[in-house]
């Protein structure tokens, strides 16, 4: 990660599961903290500030707007708006943001806050899914499957205008790594917008090292920082069982650690979030512990 040891890290939890189908990811920030996150980062020499958790209200019913199928739209908009403000303030304090989810809809707020102090931002979206649905293409109405589309400027105005108006990132600066479950509308969107997608097919053919070399080059070219949005369902369920939407035949934990190590070596990552840890579905906090291992590697921890 592009961090100096005299630059602090601000941790913020967003215990929200409204963007997902299954309850439980609201406990993700607590599980990751319980797995020893702060101590691990401090052992690496960072000054760590834990800003606690944002407050998320449990909405009654779907809280959706009449003309759409977007579940819990209003509360998600409120929380991600607060998150954008909090992340922007971290940057003012010169603390690098590390956001813990919660479901992946929180990325709309994280990226909206990070971009405030940058002219151009690259995004590496590590995920089994594309998350580029809109209300028109989503089969479920779950906003965690629309987060990347919103960041790119597509979707309901409540989502695309969080923290400002217009796209947060450009398609040519966006890379998806690890995709293996894409809806028909997402496939069309990704092809039309020319977004780089490294599915498991490309990872198997090229190897994760080559994939990440290309991903880093694309996300960092012409940008002044790269945001890593890491969904734990990008990791194979054998290594990370505690996620809401596990998809078999994913990237192993060892390969995922190499991804984090290569990103650390590149020095381009300026902010990150780790999402979709679901302790209710986990095995003895295995997935949260994997998240801590991955964060430590991203922050520069090495084997030797």
Name the catalytic one among 17, 129, 173, 261: 129
Using a 10 angstrom Cβ sphere, with 0-12 exposed, 13-18 middle and 19 or more buried, the burial of residue 302 is exposed
> Of residues 17, 26, 103, 104, which has the active-site annotation?
104
Active site residue 144: yes
What are the φ/ψ torsions at residue 36 (nearest 5 degrees)?
95, 30
| Active-site choice (103, 144, 255, 282) | 144
* Catalytic residue flag (residue 129): yes
Burial degree of 191 (CB within 10 A; 0-12, 13-18, 19+): exposed
With 0-12 / 13-18 / 19 or more C-beta atoms within 10 angstroms meaning exposed / middle / buried, residue 144 is buried
Binding residues: 104, 127, 129, 131, 231, 233
Catalytic residue among 233, 261, 273, 301: 233
Query: Could you tell me which residues are annotated as the binding site for Mn(2+)?
Result: 104, 127, 129, 131, 231, 233
Which of 91, 103, 231, 255 is an active site residue? Answer: 231
Residues 286-300 as b/e (b if ≥16 CB within 10 A, e otherwise) read bbbbbbbbbbbbbbb
Q: How many whole angstroms separate alpha carbon 109 and alpha carbon 96?
A: 15
Query: In angstroms, what CA-CA distances link 12 with 53, 59, 201?
Result: 6, 22, 34
- The active-site residue out of 103, 131, 236, 255 is 131
Q: Which of 53, 127, 202, 255 is catalytic?
A: 127
Nearest CA to 68 among 152, 159, 176? 159
Q: Among residues 103, 261, 273, 276, which one is catalytic?
A: 276
The answer to whether 276 is a known catalytic residue is yes
Annotated catalytic residue 231: yes
Active-site annotation, residues: 104, 127, 129, 131, 144, 231, 233, 276
């Amino acid at each position: 990660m592009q961090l100096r040891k005299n630059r602090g890290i601000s941790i913020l939890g967003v215990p929200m599961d409204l963007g997902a189908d299954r309850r439980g990811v609201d406990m993700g920030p607590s599980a990751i903290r319980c797995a020893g996150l702060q101590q691990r980062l401090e052992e690496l020499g960072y000054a760590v500030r834990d800003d606690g958790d944002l407050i998320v209200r449990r909405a009654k019913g779907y809280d959706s707007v009449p003309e759409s199928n977007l579940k819990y739209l209003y509360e998600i908009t409120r929380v991600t708006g607060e998150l954008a403000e909090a992340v922007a303030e971290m940057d003012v304090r010169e603390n690098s943001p590390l956001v813990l989810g919660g479901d992946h809809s929180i990325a709309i707020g994280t990226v909206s806050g990070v971009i405030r102090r940058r002219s151009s931002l690259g995004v590496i979206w590590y995920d089994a899914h594309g998350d580029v649905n809109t209300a028109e293409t989503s089969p479920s109405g779950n906003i965690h499957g629309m987060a990347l589309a919103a960041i790119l400027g597509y979707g309901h105005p409540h989502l695309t205008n969080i923290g400002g108006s217009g796209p947060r990132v450009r398609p040519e600066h966006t890379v998806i790594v690890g995709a293996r479950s894409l809806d028909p509308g997402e496939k069309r969107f990704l092809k039309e917008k020319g977004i780089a997608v490294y599915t498991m097919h490309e990872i198997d053919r090229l190897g994760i090292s080559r994939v990440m070399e290309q991903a880093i080059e694309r996300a960092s070219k012409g940008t002044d920082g790269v945001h890593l949005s890491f969904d734990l369902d990008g990791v194979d369920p054998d290594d990370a069982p505690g996620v809401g939407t596990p998809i078999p035949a994913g990237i192993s934990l060892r390969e995922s650690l190499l991804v984090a190590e290569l990103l650390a070596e590149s020095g381009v990552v300026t902010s990150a979030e780790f999402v979709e840890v679901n302790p209710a579905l986990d095995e003895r906090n295995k997935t949260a512990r994997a998240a801590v291992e991955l964060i430590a590697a991203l922050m520069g921890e090495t084997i030797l």
